[in-house]
């Protein structure tokens, strides 16, 4: 039998005086009481939920669940679709133009005046025409300093590992 | 059908108040003080048959305990016309006139307060209570009976992402974030309140919230994240344009913008990271402790810096290592001038061990010691002071800043379950061998389990440093893994994940603590 680190001397002596049969019966009683208490607690939970009308709040119909079941077939994705190259479209939030989704990133780069090419083209245009082109109104001078801004803005630890 | 008890209880309360319930509950049900618990143990038995068990009830009108099974409380109620009694085990009120247990909001509030007090007595700081709808929510739920239940085999929560032109780096980070359990729960539970001070359509946090709605919509067509790309590029202009970008860089930039937008500032991140309590900080921010020991006076200078991720070097170690610092360290180092054969890490644990190893900063990197008031050689050690809920590891397979034009493709094994205990600041100075033996069985078991993490997302890079493709593995429903290759979502095994090269590794804390 495992040693129980009892603090109480009196309790220790009492425990030692009990026969193992008595101890067995007592532990059985304790166990039954605890088990009954737990079951009672669960009954109260359910009873209360029914009384308040909140027991079946999250029930859903089986048919609706089947609709979203993962598909495990080779050649199909988890949605059961065959992966074919479909053309998706989107609207550029900058210029409101409609374009193919797979070409959105390069378009957005030019549209927002980011990246090396756009800046070069823009500054060339400014130099040539002498006035600012309306297309590149939001050309941000800050782009040229992006390398320095990066380090202060967020917590990269690369500086620790620089030799 | 509400928490308003019954008419009989209502009239009892207006006549006699809640005093008797309060006293009964405090002493005999919750036991909110040591003295109360003693009383509870000594006096809880049926006044008629003297039994301890069989569902004891206490009369609300007078001092009487009677058992339910032996019908003694019923006899008491009928004979004395005391129609209300409290169940001693849980504090629920039984109305004999109604013939049923009744639930009253006011009494439940009293009971909750008492239980909290009693829990504190037992060392339980905060208790978990299940969510319950308010009246408004209840009404809403009843009027809208359709439910989207996410069963184990549901694809709700999974969604493909269209590649907008070399934007797989963004797609992978989105997948990782969408499957960060705490982040997902925060947004789906509608906890977010927008603090963005400008045009709300430019708030990245709101866009993130919208993304979660898209992922849990049940739609099977891939999502086109063009708005997200526009927002991130608008708020993080340094992420120059269209060329293939680094997923890690995108991850940090995204967290930064989210953090800023959570706080409502549109400019540079001016808020003190130590005082921020936004969802980004709550989930991703950890504290990295740096201890610099002066070799001359042994004085220690400690700083703690916040971090969102840990970048780990691969390849051979470039510094001469020494795990003990003593007056003869320079001599012993002279003898070991060759690199140890296990200097190249082959596992995440190797990398972490190297990351938290004390490093001797050579004579060319002397640090000004405040104790000696002069420049001295020193050792530096990094350890984890505070672990974030989500620990993100970045294996430095590329070096964009230096002239490294090679990708380090060595296989670095990483575990599904990670214990960060050996890398904590509290372990500083103790050798790894002493860890298990010295802990006796009675140490607080909660603090041992505290540092355990579970893998939930892996971002991989396939290809060379010039041209490559990013894919991600994410975990859903506790132990199901899926591969996310832009718009293509397929099932994967955990072995597929663990065998993959690994570039960004995302781990989630297994046990969360209330603050």
| pLDDT confidence tier of residue B5, bands split at 50, 70 and 90 | confident
Which residues in chain A are closer than 8 Å to B256, comparing Cβ atoms? 153-154
Tokens at A24, concatenated: 């067995």
| pLDDT confidence tier of residue A136, bands split at 50, 70 and 90 | very low
> In this structure, are residues B421 and B338 in contact, taking their beta carbons and an 8 Å threshold?
no
The minimum CA-CA distance between B474 and chain A, rounded to whole Å, is 13
Q: Looking at residues B122-127, what average pLDDT do you find?
A: 79
Residues 126-185 of B with CB under 8 A from A: 132-133, 138, 141-142, 146-149, 151, 153-156, 158, 160, 162-167
CA dihedral sign of residues B216, B221, B226, B232? positive
* Bridge partner residues of A91 (DSSP): A98
Query: Which of B237, B269, B482 comes nearest A114 by C-beta?
Result: B237
- Mean pLDDT (chain B) is 83
pLDDT number for residue B400? 58
φ/ψ bin of B467: left (φ > 0), alpha (ψ from -120 to 50), beta (otherwise): beta
Distance CA B363, CA B380 (A): 13
pLDDT number for residue B427? 77
A97 interfacial to chain B (CB closer than 8 Å):
no
pLDDT number for residue B247? 92
Residue A141 pLDDT more than 50? no
A146 interfacial to chain B (CB closer than 8 Å):
yes
End-to-end CA distance of chain B: 35
Provide ipTM, 2 decimals: 0.71
Q: Which of the residue ranges A12-21, A145-154, B41-50, B334-343 has the most confident prediction, judged by mean pLDDT?
A: B41-50
A143-152 contacts, C-beta under 8 A, 24 or more apart: A143/A113, A143/A114, A143/A119, A143/B237, A143/B238, A143/B240, A144/A119, A146/B237, A146/B238, A146/B240, A147/B238, A149/B238, A150/B238, A152/B268
Residue of chain B whose alpha carbon sits nearest to that of A141: B237
Distance CA A122, CA B497 (A): 45
φ/ψ bin of B157: left (φ > 0), alpha (ψ from -120 to 50), beta (otherwise): left
Residue with tokens 């802990």: B439
* Burial of B375 per CB tally in 10 Å (0-12, 13-18, 19+): middle
CB atoms A115 and B240 under 8 Å: yes
Phi first, then psi, for residue B99 (nearest 5°) are 75, 25
A151 interfacial to chain B (CB closer than 8 Å):
no
Cβ neighbours of residue A142 closer than 8 Å, sequence gap 6 or more? A149, B237
| pLDDT confidence tier of residue B341, bands split at 50, 70 and 90 | very low
Cβ neighbours of residue B406 closer than 8 Å, sequence gap 6 or more? B465
How does pLDDT run across A12-57, given as a tens digit for each residue? 787 778 888 888 998 999 999 899 999 999 999 999 999 888 888 7
| pLDDT confidence tier of residue B298, bands split at 50, 70 and 90 | confident
How does pLDDT run across B307-321, given as a tens digit for each residue? 999 999 987 776 544
Q: Looking at residues B24-50, what average pLDDT do you find?
A: 86
| pLDDT confidence tier of residue B429, bands split at 50, 70 and 90 | low
pLDDT number for residue A101? 92
More confident residue, B439 or B78: B78
CB atoms A60 and B146 under 8 Å: yes
Residue of chain B whose alpha carbon sits nearest to that of A150: B238
Residue of chain A whose alpha carbon sits nearest to that of B224: A101
Active site residue B50: no
| pLDDT confidence tier of residue B222, bands split at 50, 70 and 90 | very high
Residues 14-73 of A with CB under 8 A from B: 33, 36-37, 40-41, 44, 47-48, 51-54, 57-60, 64-65, 67-72
Which stretch of DSSP H or E encloses residue B155?
none
> In this structure, are residues B394 and B504 in contact, taking their beta carbons and an 8 Å threshold?
yes
pLDDT number for residue B241? 60
Shortest CA distance to B178 belongs to which of B475, B483, B509?
B475
Q: Determine how many CB atoms are found less than 10 A away from the CB of residue B25.
A: 24
CB atoms A33 and B487 under 8 Å: no
Residue B268 pLDDT more than 50? no
- Residue of B168, B203, B262, B351 marked catalytic: B168
More confident residue, A145 or B290: B290
> In this structure, are residues B218 and A68 in contact, taking their beta carbons and an 8 Å threshold?
yes
pLDDT number for residue B442? 37
Q: Looking at residues B170-185, what average pLDDT do you find?
A: 95
Active site residue B469: yes
> In this structure, are residues B290 and B302 in contact, taking their beta carbons and an 8 Å threshold?
yes
Q: Looking at residues A67-82, what average pLDDT do you find?
A: 88
**Stretch among B77-81, B259-263, B405-409 having the lowest mean pLDDT:** B405-409
Q: Looking at residues B133-142, what average pLDDT do you find?
A: 86
Q: Which of the residue ranges A67-76, A117-126, B216-225 has the most confident prediction, judged by mean pLDDT?
A: B216-225
pLDDT number for residue A129? 62
Which residues in chain A are closer than 8 Å to B253, comparing Cβ atoms? 154
pLDDT number for residue B43? 86
CB atoms B103 and A48 under 8 Å: yes
CB atoms A79 and B252 under 8 Å: no
CB atoms A33 and B53 under 8 Å: yes
Residue A122 pLDDT more than 90? no
Q: Determine how many CB atoms are found less than 10 A away from the CB of residue B57.
A: 25
Q: pTM for this structure?
A: 0.76
More confident residue, B414 or A3: B414
Residue B133 pLDDT more than 60? yes
- Residue of B47, B82, B469, B487 marked catalytic: B469
pLDDT number for residue A117? 61
Query: Which of B162, B218, B307 comes nearest A101 by C-beta?
Result: B162
Beta-sheet strands, E only, within B133-285: none
* Burial of B370 per CB tally in 10 Å (0-12, 13-18, 19+): exposed
Please report the DSSP string for A34-80 in residue order: HHHHHHHHHHHHHHHHHHHT-TTTT---HHHHHHTBPP--TTS-TTS
**Which of helix, strand or coil describes residue B515?**
coil
CB atoms A60 and B147 under 8 Å: yes
Tokens at B213, concatenated: 């709605």
CB atoms B305 and A155 under 8 Å: yes
Residue B323 pLDDT more than 70? no
Please report the DSSP string for B324-380 in residue order: S--TTHHHHHHHT-SPPTT-S--BHHHHHHHHTS-EEE-GGG-EEETTTTEEE-EEE
The minimum CA-CA distance between A19 and chain B, rounded to whole Å, is 23
Cβ neighbours of residue B155 closer than 8 Å, sequence gap 6 or more? A68, A69, A70, A71, A78, A79, B218, B220, B489
| pLDDT confidence tier of residue B342, bands split at 50, 70 and 90 | low
Helix residue ranges, H only, B97-203: 105-121, 135-143, 168-178, 181-188
Which stretch of DSSP H or E encloses residue B250?
helix B247-263
**Stretch among B93-97, B135-139, B224-228 having the lowest mean pLDDT:** B135-139
How does pLDDT run across B359-417, given as a tens digit for each residue? 888 888 788 887 788 888 889 999 999 999 999 999 999 865 555 567 888 899 999 99
The minimum CA-CA distance between A106 and chain B, rounded to whole Å, is 5
The minimum CA-CA distance between B313 and chain A, rounded to whole Å, is 8
Which stretch of DSSP H or E encloses residue B126?
none
Residue of chain B whose alpha carbon sits nearest to that of A102: B164
| pLDDT confidence tier of residue B484, bands split at 50, 70 and 90 | very high
pLDDT number for residue B2? 57
Shortest CA distance to B459 belongs to which of B471, B445, B467, B447?
B471
Residue B146 pLDDT more than 70? yes
Tokens at B61, concatenated: 């009108």
A5 interfacial to chain B (CB closer than 8 Å):
no
The 3-state DSSP composition of chain B as helix, strand, coil percent (nearest 5) reads 35, 20, 45
């Amino acid at each position: 039998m495992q040693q129980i680190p009892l603090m109480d001397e009196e309790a220790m002596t009492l425990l030692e005086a009990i026969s193992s049969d008595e101890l067995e019966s007592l532990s059985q009683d304790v166990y039954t009481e605890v088990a009954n208490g737990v079951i009672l607690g669960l009954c109260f939970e359910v009873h209360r939920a029914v009384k308040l009308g909140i027991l079946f709040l999250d029930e859903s119909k089986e048919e609706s669940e089947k609709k979203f079941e993962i598909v495990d077939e080779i050649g199909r994705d988890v949605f059961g679709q065959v992966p074919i190259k479909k053309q998706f479209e989107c609207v550029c939030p900058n210029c409101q133009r409609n374009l193919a989704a797979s070409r959105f990133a390069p378009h957005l780069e030019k549209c927002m005046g980011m990246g090396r090419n756009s800046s070069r083209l823009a500054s060339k245009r400014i130099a040539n025409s002498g006035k600012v082109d309306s297309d590149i109104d939001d050309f941000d001078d800050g782009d040229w300093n992006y390398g320095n801004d990066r380090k202060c803005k967020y917590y990269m630890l690369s500086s620790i590992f620089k030799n | 059908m509400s928490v308003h008890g019954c008419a009989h209880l209502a009239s009892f309360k207006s006549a006699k108040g809640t005093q008797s319930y309060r006293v009964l509950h405090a002493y005999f049900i919750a036991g909110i003080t040591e003295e109360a618990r003693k009383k509870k143990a000594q006096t809880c038995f049926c006044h008629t048959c003297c039994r301890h068990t069989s569902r004891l009830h206490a009369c609300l009108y007078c001092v009487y305990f009677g058992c339910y099974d032996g019908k003694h409380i019923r006899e008491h109620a009928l004979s004395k016309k005391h129609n209300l009694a409290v169940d001693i085990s849980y504090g629920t009120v039984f109305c004999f006139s109604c013939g049923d247990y009744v639930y009253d909001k006011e009494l439940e509030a009293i009971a909750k307060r008492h239980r909290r007090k009693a829990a504190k007595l037992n060392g339980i700081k905060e208790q978990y209570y299940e969510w319950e709808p308010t009246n408004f929510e209840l009404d809403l739920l009843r009027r809208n009976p359709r439910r989207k239940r996410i069963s184990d085999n549901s694809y709700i929560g999974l969604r493909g992402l269209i590649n907008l032109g070399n934007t797989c780096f963004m797609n992978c980070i989105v997948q990782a974030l969408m499957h960060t359990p705490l982040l997902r729960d925060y947004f789906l539970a509608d906890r977010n309140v927008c603090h963005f001070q400008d045009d709300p359509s430019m708030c990245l946090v709101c866009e993130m919230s919208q993304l979660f709605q898209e992922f849990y919509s049940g739609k099977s067509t891939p999502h086109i994240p063009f708005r997200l790309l526009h927002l991130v590029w608008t708020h993080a202009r340094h992420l120059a344009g269209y060329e293939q970008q680094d997923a890690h860089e995108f991850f940090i930039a995204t967290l930064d913008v989210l953090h800023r937008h959570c706080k409502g500032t549109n400019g540079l991140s001016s808020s003190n990271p130590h005082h921020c309590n936004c969802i980004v900080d709550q989930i991703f921010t950890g504290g990295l402790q740096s201890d610099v020991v002066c070799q001359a006076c042994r004085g220690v200078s400690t700083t703690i810096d916040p971090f969102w991720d840990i970048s780990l070097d691969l390849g051979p170690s470039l510094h001469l290592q020494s795990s003990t610092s003593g007056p003869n360290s320079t001599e012993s180092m002279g003898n070991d001038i060759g690199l140890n054969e296990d200097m190249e890490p082959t596992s995440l644990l190797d990398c972490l061990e190297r990351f938290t190893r004390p490093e001797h900063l050579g004579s060319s990197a002397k640090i000004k010691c405040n104790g000696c008031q002069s420049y001295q050689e020193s050792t530096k050690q990094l350890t984890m002071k505070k672990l974030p809920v989500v620990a993100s590891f970045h294996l430095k397979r590329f070096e964009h800043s230096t002239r490294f034009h090679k990708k380090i493709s060595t296989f670095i094994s990483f575990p599904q379950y990670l214990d960060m205990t050996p890398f904590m600041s509290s372990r500083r100075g103790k050798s790894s061998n002493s860890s298990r033996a010295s802990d006796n069985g009675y140490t607080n078991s909660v603090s041992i389990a505290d540092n355990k993490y579970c893998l939930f997302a892996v971002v991989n890079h396939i290809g060379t440093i010039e041209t490559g493709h990013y894919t991600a593995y994410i975990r859903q429903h506790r132990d199901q893994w899926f591969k996310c290759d832009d718009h293509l979502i397929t099932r994967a095994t955990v072995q597929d994940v663990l065998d993959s090269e690994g570039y960004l590794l995302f781990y989630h804390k297994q046990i969360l603590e209330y603050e």
